[in-house]
Amino acid sequence: MPSPPYVALGDSYAAGVGGGDKRSECWRAVEGYPVLVARSLGLDLSYQACIGTTIGNVERDQLAALGPETTHVTLTVGGNDVGFVPVLIECAKPSWMSDPGPLLDEALTVLRTRFPERLAALLASIRERAPDAQVAVTAYPVLFNGEDCNALTFFSPHEMRRIEEGVDELADVIGTAARGAGLGLVDPRGDFEGHAICDPQEWLNGASWPLEGSYHPNSLGHAAYARLVTTAFGGEVGELGPGSDIRIVEGSARRGDAPTFRLPDLLSPQSLEGARRHGLDPDHVARLAHEERHEELQQLDRALRARLRQ
């Protein structure tokens, strides 16, 4: 049987995480944007994308699916290379647990130094292996609208602004690399505007269950990605719902190397010792956490942040 003409490469955003049920160790939800694109274009799909993927993981586990017969390729990668998940984990902690500033600085350093060259090399490999394919390289949407409405996380306005600036800079770097390789860029930021976490109609999950789906597109977000990619390929957006009209061939089930999101443990030594160090009563913090008094924990965090700014 011939290889599918459409190959979907990349990380958890391309593997449908957040938008549908897990189907393998790599996730690969049938509601993920590559499946929706394949159905709109009427193309069989080689579903290679996998949760936790970095550029190195694409090179190791996914590129072998490409060949002269490949007609369409999508790629979503980069967030894990610059440490996006560790940044989210640190920023989700209350101010007495963590100072994510150095980690944010480190992520930007990687983005500005090592990442562009590595991405350019990956795009060259894709073009070499699939010389006649249309290739759509996607960026990432902005996650936040300036508000953290989730009870179990503690993102500050400053941290959300820095994350937004990082997403914007990452999109610029991805766009520069794609244009330099003569490939198409799909930038979802404009379409996702007004649909961030805590907006009235969210296209992205905040902290959610299962935790791996946190800070990923939900089903509406994956459908939006699919519309953008389908249009970039010159196709018409058709039926995006479930169906059996295409063949899906899954790649290796070897997960990528990057971590997945986790919530802050407010009863951990890091939390209780941090509370004591910042002049808070650790027994009071522990009691609020045990009793799930989230609003009071949020108030403690806001008060401490205000004091630290003085």
Q: What is the CA radius of gyration of the chain?
A: 20
Mean pLDDT per 10-residue interval, the chain, length 310 residues: 91 97 96 96 97 98 97 98 97 96 97 98 98 97 94 95 97 98 97 97 96 97 98 78 76 94 97 96 97 96 89
So what's the pLDDT on residue 240? 53
Residue written as token pair 């936040």: 144
So what's the pLDDT on residue 64? 97
In a domain, 205, yes or no: yes
So what's the pLDDT on residue 110? 97
- Shared domain for 308 and 165, answered yes or no, is no
- Shared domain for 182 and 108, answered yes or no, is yes
- Cβ neighbours of residue 74 closer than 8 Å, sequence gap 6 or more: 6, 7, 8, 9, 10, 14, 33, 34, 37, 135, 136, 137, 138, 229
How many Å apart are CA 43 and CA 158, to the nearest integer? 44
Instruction: Count structural domains, the chain.
Output: 2
Q: Please state whether 256 falls in left (phi above 0), alpha (psi between -120 and 50) or beta.
A: beta
So what's the pLDDT on residue 236? 74
In a domain, 42, yes or no: yes
Contact present, 35 and 23 (Cβ < 8 Å): no
So what's the pLDDT on residue 3? 86
In a domain, 1, yes or no: no
- Shared domain for 185 and 277, answered yes or no, is no
Tokens for 30, please give them.
């049938």
- Shared domain for 218 and 292, answered yes or no, is no
How many Å apart are CA 54 and CA 52, to the nearest integer? 7
How many Å apart are CA 166 and CA 36, to the nearest integer? 28
Nearest to 68 by CA among 130, 135, 134: 130
Provide the CATH number for the domain around residue 107.
Answer: 3.40.50.1110
So what's the pLDDT on residue 238? 62
- Shared domain for 114 and 243, answered yes or no, is yes
- 307 C-beta neighbours (distance < 10 Å), count: 11
- Shared domain for 55 and 94, answered yes or no, is yes
So what's the pLDDT on residue 1? 66
In a domain, 31, yes or no: yes
Nearest to 199 by CA among 262, 260, 141, 240: 141
Contact present, 39 and 245 (Cβ < 8 Å): yes
Contact present, 30 and 240 (Cβ < 8 Å): no
- Shared domain for 310 and 249, answered yes or no, is no
pTM listed for this prediction: 0.93
Residue written as token pair 């190959």: 7
In a domain, 186, yes or no: yes
Q: Domain span at residue 304?
A: 265-310
- Shared domain for 24 and 93, answered yes or no, is yes
How many Å apart are CA 62 and CA 204, to the nearest integer? 26
Residue written as token pair 């010792």: 273
Residue written as token pair 């101010």: 95
- Shared domain for 307 and 162, answered yes or no, is no
Nearest to 231 by CA among 194, 193, 184, 190: 184
- Shared domain for 144 and 276, answered yes or no, is no
In a domain, 71, yes or no: yes
- Cβ neighbours of residue 279 closer than 8 Å, sequence gap 6 or more: none
- Shared domain for 274 and 248, answered yes or no, is no
In a domain, 131, yes or no: yes
Stretch (H or E) spanning 299? helix 294-309
- Shared domain for 190 and 291, answered yes or no, is no
So what's the pLDDT on residue 219? 97
Three-state SS at 184: strand
CA angle 7, 49, 168 (to 5 degrees): 105
How many Å apart are CA 128 and CA 51, to the nearest integer? 25
In a domain, 249, yes or no: yes
